[in-house]
Amino acid sequence: MVATKAQQNDALKHVLENVFAEETNGAIARALSAASIQTVIDMIAMRYDDIYDLDYKDDDGITVIELPKYKCSLILLFASYLSWRDRAGRPVEPEPDGWITITQKDFNLYRITSDALFFMNYGAKSSSTTQASNNHSVPDPVEHFKRGIKRDVTQSRSLKDDALWDSWNAHTLATAQAQGVAEVLDPAYVPPPTEVGLFQQKKLYMYSVLFNCLESDQGKTVVRSHAATSDAQKVYADMQEYCLRSAKAELNAADHLAYITNAKLGNGQWRGTAESFILNW
């Protein structure tokens, strides 16, 4: 059913006043009217440059006022929001009254997602906002991750002795942080629904890192146990559990405690400097 002109006007009014929280006949409404934009479809079909060129005349009918940039961003984000809903399986039926089902709460929920932040920082200008309703071209965070900073599995150290977990773990965490994949090494981390695909890509990358780095017998066993899923988060969690809480870990800790308790400087057992002895102790 095709919406009437009155329904289309009401839909645009709803989006501006109830979703964007604009006052009646506010800046966005006046700027859109000046650009002859009368429907939601017309609004989301605007190009990036056209949106940021929006302006309107002041009450004196002479002074031209540019639409504030943050208000321009609302229009761009609304188009991206519709695409986000499509991907989440909640598409908006544009006519005759689908627009009025959109709430400010749902729109604001999208505005704080990583998808929205990514869109505004990387893809707003390059994305095609000339397509209406359900055909918006929005950058894919997964593709951005794949094309992002250079990630090299050889930057991570090998772990051949599980007793050296602490130093290996510190280096690996620092490297993962620099490469933007540190959340994979947090066993308790659960990605939000909008980042499941991105997190899966990060786990696949870190699995290749751990596959090459974990060279102890236990490390190889753990890596092989998760080969079917390439779940690096579980590989890391299992290794952490083994190295910190297993019976072998307790024995290693006891041996280390005995060493640092009994070691003496000057009896021939320590061959380093006095400073290194103190730091080691």
Q: How far apart are CA 16 and CA 29, in angstroms?
A: 7
Q: Which pLDDT score is estimated for 49?
A: 87
Joined together, the tokens standing for residue 5 give: 């002109």
Q: What pTM did the predictor assign?
A: 0.47
Q: Which pLDDT score is estimated for 89?
A: 83
The tens-digit pLDDT sequence of the chain (281 residues) is 567 888 888 999 999 999 999 998 999 999 999 999 999 999 998 988 899 999 999 999 899 999 999 999 999 999 889 988 887 888 888 766 789 999 999 999 888 887 787 777 655 554 444 444 444 444 566 666 666 655 665 667 899 988 888 889 999 998 888 888 889 999 998 888 778 888 888 898 899 899 989 999 999 999 999 988 889 999 999 999 888 875 454 555 445 555 555 555 555 555 566 555 555 55
Q: Which pLDDT score is estimated for 152?
A: 65
**Whole-angstrom Cα Rg for the chain:** 28
Contact 96, 4 (CB under 8 A): yes
In the chain, which residue ranges form alpha helices assigned H by DSSP? 5-14, 27-34, 40-44, 48-52, 69-87, 104-111, 114-118, 141-146, 165-178, 196-213, 217-225, 232-245, 247-262, 274-280
Contact 161, 216 (CB under 8 A): yes
Give the distance between the most distant pair of CA atoms in the chain: 96
Joined together, the tokens standing for residue 77 give: 């984000």
Q: Which pLDDT score is estimated for 132?
A: 40
